Amino acid sequence: MMNARRLTATVLCTAAALTALSGCKSKGDIVVDEGVGITAIRSKCPAVGIPDYTGDVTLFRTPSDRTAPNIDVVAAMTDVRTQCNESAGEKVSAVVTFQVLGRRNDTAGARQVTLPFFVTVLQGGSAVISKRVGTVTLNFADGQQRAQGTATANAFVDAAAATLPAEVRERITRKRKAGDTDAALDPLADPQVKEAVARASFEVLVGFQLNDAQLAYNVTR
């Protein structure tokens, strides 16, 4: 799954973007403030994305025959969105919605196809905090080649864990004058600061729950 976990789609510019001082300049970013010091307006909401090779799935009529003429149904995730509530007490809740677009080769008869998907919360880019599996259903009408489904998933992040320690926040946001010994140093390059930022950074990953053969097909095709 990914190069361990690289995202192919990120729909929030939030805590995961802390190490980048450019790009989105909105709630949830750390941005340079007129060249002196850093202004931190950091959201506890997790970044959301789809891991490499898990955003689509191919079903074959005969599982052992993975040639193009044997393809039965293909489906892909799209339009990933999230609504986050970071003021609900001890937990930050994120509601993720996405669309699944499906296409089948044999259009004879009405057909229902149910596909499993996963929702995983990562901390610090690698530690799996939770994983849930759900399903999304595609309903093909008789003679219809394409179908669309909508899925919703909930994820929760510990608010305290997503909050930077006060001393780390002070080191990042402290205004530095031109004559200060550390004026030219990027506080985010400090190993202790980087580690603290990573620990407080969360991601919600969604993708199809693939078996080994399906994942291998996506990787090698």
Is 120 within the bounds of a domain? yes
pTM of the model: 0.73
Is 203 within the bounds of a domain? yes
Is 135 within the bounds of a domain? yes
Is 127 within the bounds of a domain? yes
> What is the pLDDT tens value at each position of the chain, 221 positions in all?
333 333 433 333 333 332 332 233 334 444 434 444 444 456 788 999 999 999 999 999 998 999 999 999 999 999 999 999 887 678 899 999 999 999 999 999 999 999 999 999 999 888 899 999 999 999 999 999 999 999 999 999 988 888 877 776 666 666 655 555 555 555 566 677 777 777 888 999 999 999 999 999 999 98
Is 1 within the bounds of a domain? no
Is 148 within the bounds of a domain? yes
Is 31 within the bounds of a domain? yes
Range of the domain at 184: 7-220
Is 70 within the bounds of a domain? yes
DSSP structure string for the chain = --SSS-EEEE---SGGGTT-SSS--STT-EEE-TTSSEEE----PPEEEEETT-SEEEEESSTT--SGGGEEEEEEEEEEEEEEE--SSSEEEEEEEEEEEEEES--SS-EEEEEEEEEEEEETTTEEEEEEEEEEEEEEPTT--EEEEEEEEEEEEETTTTS--HHHHHHHH----TTSTTTTS-GGGSHHHHHHHHHT-EEEEEEE---HHHHHHHHH-
Please state the domain count of the chain. Answer: 1
